[in-house]
Amino acid sequence: MIIPCHNEEGNIPILVEKILNEIDHYDKEIILIDDGSTDGTLDAIKNVAANHQAVKYIQFSKNFGHQNAIKAGLDLSKGAAVIMMDADLQHPPKTLKALLEKWKEGYEIVYTQRKDHQALSFTKKITAYFFYKILNWLSGLKLDHSTADFRLLDRKVVDVVKNFHESDLFWRGITFWLGFKRAKISYQAEDRFSGTTKYPFSKMLSFAIKGITSFSVKPLRLSTIMGVIISALSLIYAAYAIALYIFTDRPVEGWTSLLVCILFLG
């Protein structure tokens, strides 16, 4: 299990306890990644690690972000299957068994879809909806809406992604793009147990842009095409202005040179 934690001190003891209850009979390791927390998260992690042999941790030197914390966890994980989940109990530990069941059936990626529920704010629902619409349109991926970084990866998949040297990680896209035998399960999201969201609107927007630009060349193509069209139109207009200057006496003094300069620079 890998769990990125950024200022989650109030969630860690109960989260670990619930996970251990759910998958008690499995041979397991729980890797908690302290992603530059400024509260008592690291102490809480050390505390559970001292009490449970299965718990290990990684301490980041500063906040590197959720997606990088997942990468660090994957790099260090040793299990035959690896599950990543949030630390705030929104991804309910009671779903773990269903993930493992699917894996035992032979699926190599088991991802999850949140059944939308009332606890999610209206803005979260609406921004998530548009995010997936735009991302899928631009990238040609067919990501399911309401999927989060709550999924199981078989060792085979983990070994592949460990060799990824992407600097802008976007696990939803990467794990979709990889292929492999995939299965989906639905879960009822819980409320955040304690603390506040680490994804305010500004961060969500930059996450969305990262997702779109790392999986699509469409924005680049679009700007190239628009640039070519605008240049062509400018060229035609400049030619027209020059023709007016040469063949008529209509242009005001200085208009042609000024216009051609502006069009060229523009």
Contact set with ligand UDP (CB under 6 A):
4-6, 8, 35, 63, 65-66, 69, 86-88, 90, 197-199
Binding of Mg ion at residue 112 (CB under 5 A)? no
**Sign of dihedral through CA atoms 94, 100, 102, 108?**
positive
Stretch 58-87 residues interacting with Mg ion (CB under 5 A): 86
By three-state DSSP, how is residue 243 classified? helix
In whole angstroms, the minimum distance from the beta carbon of 189 to Mg ion comes to: 9
Number of helices and strands (H, E) in the chain?
10, 7
Q: Minimum Å distance from CB 149 to ligand UDP?
A: 7
Cβ at position 128, least distance to Mg ion in Å: 12
With H, G, I as helix, E, B as strand and everything else as coil, classify residue 187: strand
What's the closest the beta carbon of residue 6 comes to ligand UDP, in angstroms? 3
Query: Which of 41, 90, 95, 216 touches Mg ion by CB under 5 A?
Result: 90
Could you say which of ligand UDP, Mg ion, none residue 2 binds, taking C-beta under 5 to 8 angstroms by partner kind? none
How far apart are CB 145 and ligand UDP at their closest, in Å? 14
The Cα–Cα gap between 53 and 75 comes to: 20
Burial class (CB in 10 A: 0-12, 13-18, 19+), 157: buried
**Residue 35 contact among ligand UDP, Mg ion, none, beta carbon within 5 to 8 Å by kind:** ligand UDP
Which C-beta is closer to Mg ion: that of 90 or that of 216? 90
Q: In angstroms, what is the C-alpha Rg of the chain?
A: 26
58 bridge partner residues: 33
The nearer residue to ligand UDP, 197 or 223, going by C-beta atoms, is: 197
The residue from 88, 108, 149, 154 that contacts Mg ion (CB under 5 A) is 88
Touching Mg ion, residues 195-254 (CB under 5 A): none
User: Which one of Mg ion, ligand UDP, none is in contact with 108 (Cβ closer than 5 to 8 A by kind)?
Assistant: none
- Contact, 213 vs 135, CB < 8 A? no
Residue from 137, 134, 138, 213 nearest 170 by CA = 213
Q: Report the residue number, 90 or 139, with the smaller CB distance to Mg ion.
A: 90
C-beta closer to ligand UDP: residue 66 or 172: 66
Compare residues 35 and 88 and give the one whose CB is closer to Mg ion.
88
DSSP string over 5-49 = ESS-TTTHHHHHHHHHHHTTTS---EEEEE-S-SSSHHHHHHHHH
Residue 58, number of CB atoms within 10 A of its CB:
18
Q: 96: which 2 tokens?
A: 């773990």
With CB under 5 to 8 Å by kind, the binding choice for 66 among ligand UDP, Mg ion, none is: ligand UDP
